[in-house]
């Protein structure tokens, strides 16, 4: 933050010399020489025009002004008023008087500036506390150094934001039955990453992009086979954990910690292989963390075109604007059944929700409310994982860009939705070459337009509409 210079005092303004007289240093004016203080009905700067001062001293009457704005002498009234303040008193220049309103305005500005500085300092200190409480992972470094990893300089800084549906805490302890009920889910050993967003900020200073990757994108997983991208973390973790057990490892916390790390490394590598860009930072929030974060900010405003429900996700929402929090918020971003375009409409849900949530955090006083900050810090410490090089202040800066519309939400191009694999899975098909070209273009001087919608697939009830544009500065948009 740059310190702003204080406004110059009116007392520091130069005092004009009377005609034909050398400059004389200003001296304090004795009370008897001072003009009376202005009243509410009498402006402080009302005086005789300077152009007539010499004439008055010679006994000559000044001419009457024809209008208040333009005296007969041709000089504007405001200029004449200012010059009159310099009329000498007993041969000495008279100090210009300072308006009481000007003093009050300067005082208010100083107080507000001070409050802003104190508030910013408080937020910065709390963000440092967040940083100390967060769980870190070295999975990013391993993925960056893996075989076939993209070059470091790909034209942008890229942050991979992941939403995980793990049913354990960060120490591997199962969530309680009560928490699972609140999340409207059940215990399971599998882990899916149903939210994958790559924040891409070009080095050339151009507009940033939040690139959504459909969770059902069917791609190769390093060291395994083709799989839905949301399963890259989970299948790798399970296979790694089993290998540790087979080697005789009995420390469950060590198995949990190291298998989590292997799963994250596989996910990051999969995203890098698909998009062709190197992931520079990693941030992950668990399902329970999502629940806690929405509770901490008193819910998020959303709007639906139609009433909808889904027993799998626990979604049950009326049409129109509403505020969702906790379990309802989790259901809102997880629902895909009974939506016109399935997984693609779930992406629209996630994009809309994220934009609204960031706006709520930054404009709703959250960062200056000690109670909300405490709740956020508690949620972060329990449920957020980041790479050691990422600071919360970086995330706040990106959140500001999201909330202000400086970041455009897009989705990678896909070739089909609802395609069945040989194992009977319903997947989203992609062309990796087209995806890499599209993502690379987003860091260029002329970013490509959003890709067209995929062709409709029988049974998926797709429409031909494009994904929602969330960048118009308006009320929360209504979606499906």
Q: Of 44, 70, 97, which one is at a domain's C-terminal end?
A: 97
Nearest Cα residue to 290 out of 133, 167, 190, 392: 167
Residue 315, beta-bridge partner list: 310
Residues 80 and 146 in one domain: no
Phi, psi of 162, deg, nearest 5: -125, 135
Nearest Cα residue to 476 out of 360, 377, 361, 376: 360
User: Using an 8 Å Cβ cutoff, are 282 and 160 in contact?
Assistant: yes
User: Using an 8 Å Cβ cutoff, are 59 and 49 in contact?
Assistant: no
Residue 94's pLDDT is: 52
The per-residue pLDDT for range 256-278, each reduced to its tens digit, is: 889 999 999 999 999 999 999 99
Checking if the pLDDT of 352 tops 60, the result is yes
Nearest Cα residue to 179 out of 195, 161, 190, 166: 166
- In this structure, the number of other CB atoms found within 10 A of the CB of residue 22 comes to 6
| Mean pLDDT calculated for residue range 116-137 | 60
Q: Count of residues for the chain?
A: 480
Please check whether residue 357 lies inside any domain of the structure: yes
Cα distance between residue 188 and residue 234, in whole Å: 11
Please check whether residue 108 lies inside any domain of the structure: no
Please check whether residue 459 lies inside any domain of the structure: no
Q: Give 476's pLDDT tier (boundaries 50, 70, 90).
A: confident
Checking if the pLDDT of 127 tops 90, the result is no
Is the model more confident about 152 or about 3? 152
Structure tokens at 32: 């008897």
Average pLDDT value for the chain: 76
Residues 164 and 92 in one domain: no
Residue 199's pLDDT is: 94
Residues 223 and 143 in one domain: yes
Residue with tokens 């303040």: 85
Residues 71 and 150 in one domain: no
What is the count of structural domains for the chain?
2
Residues 321 and 391 in one domain: yes
DSSP for residue 248:
T
Nearest Cα residue to 407 out of 159, 127, 194: 159
Residue 47's pLDDT is: 43
Residues 67 and 154 in one domain: no
Q: Of 70, 97, 124, which one is at a domain's C-terminal end?
A: 97
The per-residue pLDDT for range 217-253, each reduced to its tens digit, is: 999 999 999 999 999 999 999 999 999 999 999 998 8
Residues 268 and 398 in one domain: yes
CA–CA–CA angle 387, 388, 390 (5° rounding): 70
| Mean pLDDT calculated for residue range 18-31 | 46
Cα distance between residue 230 and residue 347, in whole Å: 13
User: Using an 8 Å Cβ cutoff, are 235 and 227 in contact?
Assistant: yes
Cα distance between residue 163 and residue 286, in whole Å: 6
Please check whether residue 121 lies inside any domain of the structure: no
Checking if the pLDDT of 80 tops 60, the result is no
Q: Which domain holds residue 267?
A: 134-441
Please check whether residue 250 lies inside any domain of the structure: yes
């Amino acid at each position: 933050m740059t310190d702003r210079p204080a406004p110059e005092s009116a007392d520091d303004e130069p005092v004009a010399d009377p005609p034909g007289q050398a400059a004389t240093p200003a001296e304090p004016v004795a009370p008897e020489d001072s003009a009376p203080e202005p009243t509410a009905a009498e402006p402080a700067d009302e005086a005789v025009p300077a152009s007539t001062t010499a004439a008055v001293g010679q006994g000559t009457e000044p001419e009457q002004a024809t209008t208040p704005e333009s005296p007969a002498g041709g000089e504007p009234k405001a200029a004449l008023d200012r010059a009159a303040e310099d009329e000498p008193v007993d041969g000495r220049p008279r100090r210009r008087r300072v308006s009481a309103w000007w003093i009050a305005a300067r005082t208010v500005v100083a107080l507000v500036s001070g409050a802003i500085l104190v508030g910013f300092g408080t937020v910065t200190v709390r963000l440092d506390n967040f940083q100390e409480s967060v769980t870190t992972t070295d999975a990013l470094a391993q993925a960056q150094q893996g075989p076939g990893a993209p070059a470091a300089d790909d034209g942008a800084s890229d942050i991979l934001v992941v939403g995980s549906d793990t049913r354990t805490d960060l120490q591997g302890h199962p969530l309680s039955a009560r928490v699972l009920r609140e999340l409207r889910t059940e215990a399971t050993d599998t882990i899916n990453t149903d939210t994958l967003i790559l924040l891409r900020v070009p080095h050339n200073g151009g507009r940033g992009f939040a690139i959504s990757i459909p969770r059902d994108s069917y791609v190769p997983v390093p060291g395994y086979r083709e799989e839905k991208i949301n399963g890259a973390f989970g299948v790798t973790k399970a296979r790694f954990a089993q290998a540790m057990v087979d080697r005789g490892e009995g420390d469950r916390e060590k198995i949990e910690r190291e298998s989590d790390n292997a799963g994250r490394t596989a996910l990051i590598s999969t995203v890098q292989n698909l998009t062709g860009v190197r992931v520079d930072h990693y941030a992950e929030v668990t399902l329970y963390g999502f629940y806690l974060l929405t509770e901490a900010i008193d819910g998020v405003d959303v709007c639906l075109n139609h009433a909808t429900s889904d027993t799998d996700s626990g979604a049950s929402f009326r049409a129109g604007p509403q505020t969702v929090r906790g379990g309802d918020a989790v259901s809102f971003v997880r629902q895909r059944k009974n939506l016109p375009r399935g997984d693609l409409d779930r992406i629209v849900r996630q994009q809309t929700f994220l934009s609204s949530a960031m706006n709520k955090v930054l404009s709703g006083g959250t960062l200056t409310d000690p109670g909300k900050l405490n709740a956020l810090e508690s949620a972060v410490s329990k449920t957020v994982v980041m790479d050691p090089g990422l600071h919360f202040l970086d995330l706040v800066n990106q959140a500001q860009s999201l909330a202000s519309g400086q970041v455009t939400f897009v989705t990678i191009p896909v070739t089909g939705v609802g395609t069945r694999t040989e194992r009977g899975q319903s997947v989203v098909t992609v062309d990796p070459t087209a995806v890499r070209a599209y993502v690379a273009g987003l860091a260029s001087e002329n970013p490509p337009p959003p890709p067209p919608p995929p062709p409709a697939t029988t049974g998926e009830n797709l429409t031909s509409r494009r994904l929602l544009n969330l960048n118009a500065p308006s009320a929360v948009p209504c979606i499906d």
